[in-house]
């Protein structure tokens, strides 16, 4: 069993909400899981919290099996109870209100992120072509590429930025093409094929950056056996990576406080 599966078994075997100590004792008694951690109670609690419908901690799991009450006890969600005899402990009105507030804050955070992505793309699409190439050089450098520099279009054809990618002790030559397109102007197969032809024989990796998107045909030929691979970065990915890397982004943190009786004596 996995840790969360053992916890589900423990709760179902006793048919009522339990704190982490009781869940741990039941798991050990039945030998449902062998903990390798030096702090098994903490490992159990963190794992269960990540699977709680009303928790919001780092690395939350998409599958939720438990509800955690403010007194530290865990209750199985209805779909995972083995029988109808499971004694439920209804959440208090305060708990429901707190959960609702947290859900609203999370939804607002998602909306703010989407707003920032839209603002990023609107700004990039208004940049002059030369300035967008300079941005692409900066973007790729921040992403981890080295020696990146904007090329002279008169000498390098479809190559806008070139540099290298360090892989262990080796270094791979990288070239990028940057298309500052409107949302409706998709990059097609001919553009990707032409770019591959321009870099073949001189570079080991190609990167095609656009503020729009790629057609299915363009996506299909980005990787072909025996050919230089082309990484495709569309507008959505571009904005997402900028937020992830903090490029042009100010992160504002909001402290959220969630009482958990289980943590008092840790």
Burial class of residue 85 (count of CB atoms within 10 Å of its CB; 0-12, 13-18, 19+): exposed
Query: Does the pLDDT value for residue 92 go beyond 60?
Result: no
Mean pLDDT of 116-141: 94
Min mean pLDDT across 102-116, 147-161, 177-191 is at: 147-161
Per DSSP, the residues of 15-69 read: TS-B-HHHHHHHHHHHT-----SSSHHHHHHHHHHHTBTT---TT--S---EEE-
pTM of the predicted model as reported, rounded to 2 decimal places: 0.63
Task: Give the span between the Cα atoms of 48 and 205, in whole angstroms.
Answer: 43
Task: Give the span between the Cα atoms of 143 and 140, in whole angstroms.
Answer: 5
| Alpha-carbon distances of 228 from 118, 179, 187, 222, 237, rounded to whole Å | 32, 19, 18, 9, 21
pLDDT of residue 93: 52
Query: Does the pLDDT value for residue 95 go beyond 60?
Result: no
pLDDT digits (tens, 9 = 90+) for 257-266: 767 666 666 5
Please report where in the chains the tokens 């791979």 appear, as a residue: 172
Q: In what order do the strands lie in the sheet with 230-233?
A: 146-150, 161-167, 170-179, 205-210, 230-233
The first and second tokens of residue 252, run together, are 């504002």
| SS3 per-residue string spanning 132-192 | HHHHHHHHHHHHCCEEEEECCHHHHCCCCEEEEEEECCEEEEEEEEEECCCCCCCECHHHH
pLDDT of residue 55: 79
pLDDT digits (tens, 9 = 90+) for 169-194: 889 999 999 999 999 999 999 999 99
Pairing of strands 66-68, 74-76: antiparallel
Task: Give the span between the Cα atoms of 231 and 172, in whole angstroms.
Answer: 14
pLDDT digits (tens, 9 = 90+) for 19-57: 999 999 999 999 999 998 889 999 999 999 999 988 776
In sequence order, the β-bridge partners of residue 165 are 172
- Distant-in-sequence, close-in-space partners of 193: CB < 8 Å, separation ≥ 6: 221
- Distant-in-sequence, close-in-space partners of 169: CB < 8 Å, separation ≥ 6: none
Band of residue 110 on the pLDDT scale cut at 50, 70, 90: confident
Band of residue 152 on the pLDDT scale cut at 50, 70, 90: confident
Burial class of residue 14 (count of CB atoms within 10 Å of its CB; 0-12, 13-18, 19+): middle
Structural domain boundaries of the chain? Answer: 3-91, 124-245
- The CATH number of the structural domain formed by 124-245 is 3.40.1350.10
pLDDT of residue 48: 93
Query: Does the pLDDT value for residue 244 go beyond 70?
Result: yes
Task: Give the span between the Cα atoms of 188 and 192, in whole angstroms.
Answer: 7
Please report where in the chains the tokens 């992830």 appear, as a residue: 244
Query: Does the pLDDT value for residue 13 go beyond 70?
Result: yes
Query: Does the pLDDT value for residue 239 go beyond 90?
Result: yes
Please report where in the chains the tokens 């100010």 appear, as a residue: 250
């Amino acid at each position: 069993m996995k840790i969360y599966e053992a916890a589900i078994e423990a709760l179902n075997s006793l048919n009522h909400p339990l704190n982490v100590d009781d869940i741990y004792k039941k798991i050990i008694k039945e030998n449902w899981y062998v903990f390798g951690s030096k702090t098994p109670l903490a490992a159990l609690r963190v794992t269960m919290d990540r699977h709680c419908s009303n928790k919001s901690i780092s690395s939350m799991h998409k599958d939720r099996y438990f509800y955690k009450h403010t007194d530290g006890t865990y209750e199985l969600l209805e779909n995972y109870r083995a029988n109808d005899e499971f004694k439920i402990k209804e959440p208090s009105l305060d708990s429901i209100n707190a959960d609702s507030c947290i859900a609203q804050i999370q939804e607002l955070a998602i909306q703010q992120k989407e707003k920032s992505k839209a603002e990023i793309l609107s700004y990039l699409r208004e940049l002059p072509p030369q300035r967008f190439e300079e941005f692409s050089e900066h973007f790729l450098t921040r992403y981890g590429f080295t020696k990146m520099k904007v090329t002279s279009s008169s000498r390098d054809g479809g190559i806008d930025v070139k540099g290298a990618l360090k892989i262990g002790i080796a270094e791979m030559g990288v070239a990028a093409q940057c298309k500052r397109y409107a949302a409706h102007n998709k990059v097609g197969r001919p553009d990707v094929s032409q770019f591959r032809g321009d870099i073949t024989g001189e570079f080991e990796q190609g990167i095609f950056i656009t503020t729009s998107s790629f057609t299915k045909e363009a996506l299909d030929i980005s990787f072909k056996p025996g050919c230089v691979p082309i990484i495709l970065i569309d507008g959505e990915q571009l904005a997402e990576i900028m937020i992830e890397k903090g490029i042009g982004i100010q992160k504002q943190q909001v402290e959220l406080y969630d009482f958990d009786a289980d943590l008092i004596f840790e």
